[in-house]
Amino acid sequence: MLRLIGAAVVAVCGGALGLYFSAALKKRLLLITELEGALNIVREELSANLTPLPELFSMAARQNTGAVSEFFGKVVLGFGEIAEKPFYDTWQEAATALPCLTPAEKDTLFRLGRTLGRYNTEDQAQTLGAVSARFAEFRQAAQTRLTKEGKSRTVLGLASGILLAIILL
């Protein structure tokens, strides 16, 4: 009886592990989608109303949730420390703290941070548009990966748990 219970626990744990890895893919897709949307809003607001960057990022922090809100919140706080440390350092720290992003995605954000506040509004809006388009590509790749690997990770986790349970019996 105990062996059967142990085998069931191992199988369930394998399935839970598969679900965890599948959820990580979903979480990454959601983060990229929210970040892309926030960058689009910032670009549109900057182009249409010439809103100063601290106000733009404060608005983005309020309109988003989770990691994206925290990212823009950290950037806004960095404007208060601008005399002590450069804006780019604050931007880079906030971008580094974003979970789930690949090095290429973080590098894209780093490049954006180097241009914000340094050039005219039109150039900044153009750069924001290019970065947003790049994040659209990242989103599409993440969606494709989720479609291909999401279910298979869950099934593979469950199958490995069942296989291990059979071996242990």
Q: Tell me: the pLDDT tens digits for 77-135?
A: 887 776 677 888 888 899 999 888 899 999 999 998 888 877 777 888 888 899 999 99
Q: Contact, 72 vs 57, CB < 8 A?
A: yes
Determine how many CB atoms are found less than 10 A away from the CB of residue 30. Answer: 17
d(CA 121, CA 44): 11
Name the residue ranges covered by the structural domains of the chain: 31-149
Give which of 117, 4, 143 is closest to 57, Cα–Cα.
117
The whole-model pTM stands at 0.80
What is the residue-averaged pLDDT of the chain?
84
Give the model's pLDDT for residue 83.
62
Which stretches of the chain are assigned E, i.e. beta strand? none
pLDDT-derived band at 35 (thresholds 50, 70, 90) equals: very high
